[in-house]
């Protein structure tokens, strides 16, 4: 069984540590917020200038001056802080964010990531993605392992224009948890019921498979 969006988020959440400051991108990464262990203190950074993002507001508590990076209305947790965009990106570029989670179209064996532009389609922009991948030491990419037609998205070399070069070390897909170093993919865990053969077949770049590949538990 391939992982659902929620399960990908659940798997990513296991990489959280108590005391972490975390930036979650739009889409599956946002769901990670639902799986923060109750006994852990984690502060979510929203790059429009909020550290300590809370849940969406109740309808009677909506404030147009409180939004997240996806322009959705949000709340702040107790102990949050608010600051300018320059301050926000100083945190990001200065390497102060402990974990960044974002989506991608493609990654490759050199740790390159493509996530913002498909030539021939209208380009809306990169937002903060280039700053996030360039500034963060600890990044987890969430993505589907292959296209619907079975074309791998874990490549020898990204085909699409890059968001960042040589910056990705960890990828959670619907099939596997994979790390990237030394010019190769390294298979660490597989989704429940997904065979190693399937993962290898759907990975274009060289992938190192250990003798035992544990199944993720949910």
- Does 79 bind other proteins (CB under 8 A)? Our answer is no
- Does 64 bind other proteins (CB under 8 A)? Our answer is yes
The residues, any chain, with a CB within 8 Å of residue 180's CB and separated by 6 or more, are 107, 109, 110, 111, 168, 169, 170, 171, 186
Q: Are 177 and 216 in contact (CB under 8 A)?
A: yes
Nearer to other proteins, 20 or 57 (CB): 57
- Does 150 bind other proteins (CB under 8 A)? Our answer is no
Distance of closest approach, residue 50 Cβ to other proteins, in angstroms: 5
Distance of closest approach, residue 121 Cβ to other proteins, in angstroms: 11
3-state secondary structure of 134: helix
Site residues for other proteins, 17-56, by CB under 8 A, read 46-50, 55-56
Instruction: Determine which residue in the list 89, 152, 184, 200 makes contact with other proteins, applying CB under 8 A.
Output: 89
- Does 130 bind other proteins (CB under 8 A)? Our answer is yes
Distance of closest approach, residue 201 Cβ to other proteins, in angstroms: 29
14: left (phi over 0), alpha (psi -120 to 50) or beta: alpha
Q: Are 92 and 68 in contact (CB under 8 A)?
A: no
Instruction: Determine which residue in the list 128, 146, 176, 216 makes contact with other proteins, applying CB under 8 A.
Output: 128
Distances (CA, A) of 124 to 2, 116, 142: 30, 8, 21
Distance of closest approach, residue 69 Cβ to other proteins, in angstroms: 8
Report how far residue 82's alpha carbon sits from residue 11's, in angstroms, rounded to the nearest whole number: 29
Residues that bind other proteins (CB under 8 A): 46-50, 55-59, 62-68, 70-74, 76, 82-86, 88-89, 92-93, 112, 117, 122-131, 134-135, 161-166
């Amino acid at each position: 069984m391939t992982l659902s969006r929620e399960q990908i988020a659940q798997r990513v959440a296991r990489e959280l540590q108590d005391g972490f400051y975390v930036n979650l991108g739009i889409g599956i990464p946002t769901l990670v917020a639902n799986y923060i262990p109750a006994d852990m203190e984690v502060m979510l950074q929203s790059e429009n200038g909020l550290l300590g993002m809370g849940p969406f507001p109740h309808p009677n508590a909506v404030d147009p001056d409180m939004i997240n990076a996806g322009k959705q209305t949000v709340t702040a947790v107790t102990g949050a802080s608010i600051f300018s965009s320059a301050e926000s990106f100083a945190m990001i570029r200065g390497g102060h964010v402990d974990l960044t989670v974002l989506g991608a179209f493609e990654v490759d064996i050199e740790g390159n990531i493509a996530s913002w532009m498909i030539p021939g389609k209208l380009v809306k922009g990169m937002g903060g993605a280039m700053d996030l991948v360039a500034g963060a030491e600890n990044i987890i990419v969430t993505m589907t392992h292959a296209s619907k037609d079975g074309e791998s998205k874990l490549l020898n070399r990204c085909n699409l224009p890059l968001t960042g070069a040589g910056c990705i070390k960890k990828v959670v897909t619907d099939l596997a948890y994979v790390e990237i170093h030394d010019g190769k993919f390294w298979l660490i865990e597989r989704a429940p019921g997904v065979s190693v053969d399937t993962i290898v077949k759907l990975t274009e770049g060289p992938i190192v498979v250990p003798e035992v590949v544990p199944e993720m538990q949910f």
